[in-house]
Amino acid sequence: MSTTADLKKGLCIIFNNEPHLVLEKTFVSPGKGSAFFRTKLKNLKTGVIFEFTFKSGEKIEPVSLQTREYQFLYKQGNEFIFMNPKNFEQISLKEELLGNYRNFLKEGDVCQILTLEGEAVGIKPPLKVKLRVIESENAVKGNTVTSATKPVKVETGYIVQVPLFIKEGDFIIINTETGEYVERA
Amino acid sequence: MENIKNIIKLRSKIFDLVRIFFKKRGYLEVETPLLIPHPDPSYYTEVFETSKINGKRSFLSTSPEYYMKKLIPLGFQKIFQICKAFRNPKEIGPFHNPEFTILEWYRVNASYKDLFIECEQLVNFLCQEIFTKPKKNKRLKNFIKYQNILIDLNPPWLKFSLKMLFEKYADINLDEFLDFKKAKKIAQKKDYKIEKDTTCEQIFHQIFLNEIEPKLPKSKPVILFEYPAFLAEGARLKNSNPLYAERFEFYIGGLEIGNGYSELTDWREQEKRFKQSLKTRKRKKMKIFAYDKEFIEVLKSNFPPCAGMAIGLDRLIMLFVNAKKIDEVLFFPASKIF
C-alpha cells in the first residue's frame, strides 16, 4: 500500500475518484501539530490545478501513466488532435490539459503524450522550445528608458517580450513553464 | 556570499535588539539546559535521543518551556531566553530545520491577551530598528514587503478566534467538532480520509491547512486565538468556556511565527495531559520516556498565574530579509551539512 511517503512530483494518483498529477510537494507542520504534505495537484480530466494538504502517512492510490510519442496535427475548437506516427491512430487532448505549452505547439511537432488506460491525459513538455519570430516592430525611440524589451510574435501566434536586438526571422528560445524569452537561438 | 554575510550581521543585530527590548522592560535573560532527561511528551514532535548520562537516557530539548517555568517559583516576574531547540522531522521542508532558534519569554500575573500586545510591540520595534532609514512616505512606517506582499505591521493586528475561522471558511461549528466522533463525520463528509490511527489534532489541522490557512489575510499580521481544548498543550482552559484554551498563534505574511498562552498551573490537569500525550505517542509508535515529575512538584508549590510566548526567530528573520526558505537565513542549514 502506498502512503504520502511515496508522493513525488510527476506521480499520478487517484484522488476523489479522478486521476491527478502531482506537480509539487512540500513538507509542512504546524508548530503544535503533526506532519503534513502540501501538494499542488492537476486534475487530468479537467485540467484544474489546486492545492491539497495530506496528513503524513495517509494512504494514496498511485496509477501508472504511459508515455508515447505523438505528432501534433491540428487544433479543433478547444481540442488538440495528435496522431501516433506508427499506427496513425488519433487522440485528442483538451486545451486546459496542455497548460502553457499550448502556446508553443506547431503542426507536425512530435511530443510526449501521457495516457491512462488508452485515454490522453496530459503532455510532457520540453523545458524549452525554439520558435521563429514572425512579427517585430522596431523599438520606438524613447521607450528604452522604462524598458529595454519589446513584444514580438512567434510562429505559433504567441506574443513574448524580448530584448531590442531581436529581429523578424530570428529564432528564439522560450521557457515553456514561464512562457518567457531565454535567449536568441 | 555578500548576501549571506549581510544575513549573519542582521541575525546578530536582531539578537541585540531582542535583548534590548526585553531588558528595557525588566526581563531577566536566563539559560536552561538543551540536554535533558525528560523532553516535552507532545505527540506531534519526535525528539533526538543521545547517549546515556549517569545511566539515564538523555534527549535534545524540543523547547525550553518546562525548564523555564521551573524558574518562575524562584520569584522571577519576567524572564526570557534565546536558545536552540531540536525537533526530529519526518522530512526537511522549506520552513523547518531540525535545529532552530527560539525566543521564549514568561511573565507573571499576565494572560495570553497581554502577550498579543507584547508581540505587536516587539515586531514593530524590530522593524523600526532594522530599517532605520526614514521612509520617504511617512504613511509606510512599519510596512515591510514579503514575497511581493506589502505588510502593515502597525498595531492593532487582526485577531480571529479559531471558532470564528472554522465557521467562516470551513462552515464548521467548532463546538461540535470537539466531540471526536462528530469531528470524524464532519471530515468524512468533506472527503477527508479517516484511518484507524487518525487523531483529532490531524483532522483539525488538515481542515485548517486546506480550507483556512490559505485564506488568512496577508497584508496585516494575524492572531488566531482560543484553540480547542484538545490542542491546549500547556495552556489554561478558559474559565468562561472550558471547551477552549487560552492559547494563540500569530502569522505574518502567511508564515507561522509564534505561539503563546496563559500557562496551565493546575498540576492535576498537567499530569493528566502528560499521561495522555504519552499514550498517544505509544499508539503512534513514537519514542516513549518518563514525563517530568519534578515539574509537577513545582506546580504544586503555589505556582503564580503567568503567560508565556515562543517565537521562531529564524522565521521572523525570514520575514525581514524576504526569504522564501528557512535555509536562506541559516549559514549551515541541515540540508547542506548532512
- For A31, the closest of B201, B206, B256 (CB atoms) is B256
The per-residue pLDDT for range B177-195, each reduced to its tens digit, is 999 999 999 999 999 999 9
Work out the percent of chain B whose per-residue pLDDT is above 70: 98
Residues B75-115 have pLDDT tens digits of 999 999 999 999 998 788 899 999 999 999 999 999 999 99
CA distances to A7, B165, B181 from B203, rounded to whole Å, are 20, 15, 11
Burial of A178 (0-12, 13-18, 19+ CB in 10 A): exposed
Dist. CA B11–CA B117, nearest whole Å: 24
Task: Please provide residue B8's backbone torsions phi and psi, each rounded to the nearest 5 degrees.
Answer: -60, -45
Å from B125 to nearest chain A CA? 24
CB-based contact B184:B203 (threshold 8 Å): yes
Buried b (16+ CB within 10 A) or exposed e, B28-42: eebebeeebbbbbbb
ipTM of this predicted structure: 0.89
Q: Is B296 left (phi over 0), alpha (psi -120 to 50) or beta?
A: alpha
CA distance A39 to chain B (A): 10
pLDDT of residue A141: 55
When pLDDT is averaged across residues B205-216 and rounded to a whole number, the result is 96
DSSP state of A33: S
Please check whether residue A17 touches B, CB under 8 A: no
Residue B284 near residue B44 (C-beta atoms within 8 A)? no
Candidates B43, B90, B310; nearest CB to A56 = B90
Task: Answer yes or no: do B206 and A51 touch at CB < 8 A.
Answer: no
Query: Which one of B206, B209, B250 makes the best mutation probe of the A interface by having the most chain A beta carbons within 10 Å?
Result: B209
**Rounded to 5 degrees, what are φ and ψ at B57?**
-65, 145
Cβ contact, residue pair B214, A52, below 8 Å: no
The closest alpha carbon to B89, from B145, B37, B48, belongs to B48
pLDDT bracket for residue B1 (50, 70, 90): low
Measured in degrees and rounded to the nearest 5, phi and psi for residue A176 equal: -75, -20
Q: Is A27 on the interface with B (CB under 8 A)?
A: yes
Residues of B in contact with A38 (CB under 8 A): 209
Q: What is the largest CA-CA distance in chain A?
A: 64
The alpha carbon torsion through B136, B138, B143, B147 (nearest 10 deg) reads -30
Task: Please say if the pLDDT value at position B316 is more than 70.
Answer: yes
| Contact call for A33 and B95, based on CB within 8 A | no
- pLDDT bin (cut points 50, 70, 90) of residue B146 is very high
- What mean pLDDT value characterizes chain B? 95
Residue B82 cell numbers, joined: 534565546
Partner A contacted by B335 (CB < 8 A): no
H-only helix segments in A16-57: none
Interface test with B, best of A55, A59, A61 (most B CBs within 10 A): A55
Q: Does B43 touch chain A (CB under 8 A)?
A: yes
Q: How confident is the model at residue B315 (pLDDT cuts 50, 70, 90)?
A: very high
What was the pLDDT predicted at A35? 92
Q: What is the number of other CB atoms lying within 10 angstroms of the CB of residue A104?
A: 23
In chain B, positions 226-245, which contact chain A (CB-CB < 8 Å)? 227, 231, 233
Q: Which residues contact B110 (CB under 8 A, 6 or more apart)?
A: B262, B305, B306, B307
pLDDT band at residue B278 under the 50/70/90 scheme: very high
Task: Evaluate if residue B333 carries a pLDDT over 90.
Answer: yes
Grid cell 492572531 is found at B223
User: Chains A and B: how many Cβ contacts under 8 Å?
Assistant: 69
CB-side neighbour CA atoms (13 Å) of A106? 10
Within 8 A by CB and 6+ apart from B263, the residues are B69, B106, B234, B235, B236, B305, B306, B307, B308
Mean pLDDT to the nearest integer, B122-148: 86
Choose, out of B103, B196, B202, the residue to mutate when testing the contact with A (most A CBs < 10 Å).
B202
Nearest CA to CA, how far is A111 from chain B (Å)? 34
Per the CB < 8 Å rule, is B201 touching A53?
no
- The DSSP H or E segment spanning B78 is strand B78-86
The stretches of chain B forming alpha helices (DSSP H) are 2-24, 65-71, 112-130, 162-170, 174-177, 180-189, 200-207, 267-283, 293-300, 313-320, 334-337
Nearest-CA neighbor of A74 among A64, A82, A66, A86?
A82
A28 with A39: CB under 8 angstroms?
A: no
Cβ-defined contact of A51 to B199 (cutoff 8 Å): no
With CA atoms as reference, the chain B residue closest to A56 would be B90
Q: What angle do CA A59, A62, A64 make, to 5 degrees?
A: 170
Q: What percentage of chain B exceeds 90 in pLDDT?
A: 90
Nearest CA distance, B91 vs chain A (angstrom)? 7
Residue B312: list chain A partners with CB under 8 A.
31
Give residue A34's identity as a one-letter amino acid code: S
Distances in Å between the alpha carbon of B320 and those of B13, B125, B135, B185, B260? 12, 12, 16, 42, 21
- Return the ∠ at Cα B240 (arms to B234 and B245), rounded to 5°: 20
CA distance B91 to B96: 9
> What is the three-state SS of B84-140?
EEECECCCCCCCCCCEEEEEEEEEECCCHHHHHHHHHHHHHHHHHHHCCCCCCCHHH
pLDDT at A144: 54
User: Using CA atoms, how far apart are residues B316 and B258, in angstroms rounded to an integer?
Assistant: 9
Q: What is the pTM of this model?
A: 0.85
Please choose, from the candidates B312, B308, B317, the residue with its C-alpha nearest in 3D space to the C-alpha of residue B87. Answer: B312
All residue ranges of chain A with pLDDT < 50 are: none
